[in-house]
Structure 1
Amino acid sequence: MDKDGNFEIVVSSEENKPAGCKNWMKTLSDPESAMLIVRQTYNDHDNEIPATVTIEKLEGQTLPTPVTCEQVDEALKKSALFVGGASFMFARWAKGFQKHVNELPLFDQEVSNKAGGDPNIRYFHSYWRLADDECLVISATPPKVETWNFQLNNHWMESLDYRYYQIHVNMHMAHYRKDKSIRIVIAHSNPAELGLENADAYDWINTTGKPLSL
């Protein structure tokens, strides 16, 4: 990485690894690698600069080969399998999370990794259920890490609408208590209206009207 934070990563097979390359990722031949995922984590969406990512082919033909009917047919089949498989997997996960409603245990890291989760991130997953006049309070003392985040999802593990509702909080946004702990309050309406003491810091997470979810 240079002084401005720019860096290059070479993705290739073992035999095509450039000599002296410091940032290298090995492709797989069995099964053949066909996907590269880039994730960027934000603490402050309003002020942090999104990464600019470009891909350059270093050797061989630069023009793409024409797409065949067989390739289109195969891609459509894979798309259908992905939609069906992802829906089935998240539905199975959600069913398992309902075994510990309104609790927040650590998720199985091996299961997370196999599904494409970042092996450097620890996930806590569960299901919550609240009546109209109830709220769920989560108290914790975050460890010293690069970042942490808490968010509400729907049944299919998709985040709720963060554009218009406060459905998440991270280390940059959180209101810390004097002892460096945090208190997250999941509620249908502003906790101040429920009589929660304003003197003690907390972060309200809006259910967006859902009685239960992830």
Structure 2
Amino acid sequence: MKSKEALDALLDIVKSADHTFLDPDKNLDAQGKVDGYRHLFHLMRTTIDFYLFNDPMHPTFMPLSNEHHKILGDNVDAVYYFTQLLPDQEYVISGRRFDSCYLSFTTYGGDADGSIVDRVANSINHRRINFDEDGRFEIKLTPYPKGDNEFMLDSDVVNLFTREYFLDRFNGQESELSIKNISNQGIPPVLDDEALARRIQIMTTFFQQSTWLAPLPVEFPMNDFLPPFPFDAEQGGWGTVDNIYCFGRYHLKQNEYLKIEFSSPECCYWGVQTWNYLMQSMDYRYYPVGLNKGNAVQNAEGNYTIYLSHSPMKVDNWISTAGYEEAIIFCRWLLSEEVPNKPVVTLHSL
């Protein structure tokens, strides 16, 4: 059977995937390697959700992450959904927005084989969408947009991510969202051997190429940041052009802490959080691992000072390492009026 051949190929990729983080050149510590194995299970789940359970003819919004399952650079303040698309179909996304500070639908162009996408095809954020007074909306994705709330579906489009950011995520209500293919009125056929094999082949490509994205490079500066940079539509990967990203890394002993100082331009959202090397947020169920524009306390001068340490500190704007001696510090700005300056980091002893 073609399905068995495809499954065997997938399992071969899964069995050898640990070389992507056990490679000595990755220079991961013991915890990073443990996270690498755990990440494989998260990636398997995502692979199944996105490409076995999802069908671009009959799309469904599949969640990217939650408190138990994290992948592809999740944010503690955000909710994400994914679906596949076909460029020759027309889709309607309906919903109602409640408490978010940012909502977007980003389509991506590339090959329809599970590969990492080549480019951002269309970035549709809340500023481009007409809502009614209750927050309800309906947008159409079509090769032939004609009016308000109709947006281009380019000829190379293969998938879409929704992004919704909150200044108080766990007390906020996420949007109600649904998607429907209005070009197709049929019932999905029974999945035969050839169709299942094709899905497994796509899953294999997605799984394998996703392991290329993480762990993140160990060349990131220690106890410092790289300069912030806007995401470019043509650079590949599932970023958004509305974002400015800033990567750093820390290594802290039990008696040490980082003092992070920065100013923010006017923006819709900014946030600072910790990730492990697999781009997974730390355990925000039990630790304060991120701060944002809505909950950080501003200094009298208008800038911000954030403290990172293993043990709680009696200061404003403290975030926890969540038990990680070494990991990533990640910042992002959404719809910023300009590129911010690099945060200033200093290492101190308690």
Same fold (TM over 0.5): yes
List aligned pairs for 1:131-210, cutoff 5 A: 131-192=253-314, 198=315, 202-210=316-324
Structure with bigger RCO (C-alpha 8 Å, 6+ apart): 2
Which of 218, 225, 229 does residue 104 from structure 1 map onto? 225
The match for 2:190 among 66, 74, 78 is: 66
Any conservation in 1 of the 2:230–2:243 contact (CA below 8 Å)?
A: no
1:9 alignment counterpart:
139
Q: How far 1:187 moved relative to its partner?
A: 0.4
Q: In the alignment, is the contact (CA less than 8 A) between 2:231 and 2:240 conserved in 1?
A: no
Query: After superposition, what is the alpha-carbon deviation per residue over 1:84-129, rounded to whole angstroms, capped at 9, x for unaligned?
Result: 21222222x32342xx111112246338952111101101012111
Distance between the aligned counterparts of 1:151 and 1:102, measured in 2? 14
Q: The residue matched to 1:73 in structure 2 has which SS?
A: helix
Note if contact 1:129-1:211 (Cα within 8 Å) is conserved in structure 2. yes
Tell me whether 1:34 sits opposite 2:148 in the alignment: no
TM-score (norm: length of structure 1): 0.83
The 2-side partners of 1:108 and 1:121 are apart by 6
Number of aligned residue pairs: 197
Contact 1:94 1:127 in 2 (8 A): no
* Residue equivalent to 1:195: none
User: Which letter does structure 2 place at the counterpart of 1:117?
Assistant: G
Which is richer in strand? 2
Q: State the distance in 2 between where 1:56 and 1:79 align.
A: 23
Q: Quick check: which has more Rg, 1 or 2?
A: 1
How far apart, CA to CA, are the structure 2 residues paired with 1:73 and 1:89? 25
- The verdict on how the C-alpha distance between 1:81 and 1:59 changes in structure 2, with shifts beyond 3 A counting, is closer
Q: CA deviation at 1:170?
A: 0.6
Runs of 4+ in 1 over 4 A off after TM superposition: none
Identity rate, percent: 24
On the 8 A contact 1:94/1:156 being kept in 2, the answer is: no
TM-score, normalisation: structure 2: 0.52
Q: 2:173 aligns with which of 31, 43, 49?
A: 49
Q: Secondary structure at the match of 1:155?
A: coil
Contact preservation (8 Å) 2:252, 2:325: yes
The one-letter amino acid paired with 2:307 is V
Give the SS at the match of 2:199: helix
Gaps of 5+ in 2: 1-130, 329-350
Match of 1:25 in 2: 151
Structure 1 contact 188–208 (Cα < 8 Å) conserved: yes
- The structure-2 alpha-carbon separation of the partners of 1:112 and 1:211, relative to structure 1 and needing over 3 Å to count, comes to farther
Flag structure 1 segments of 5+ consecutive residues without an equivalent. 193-197
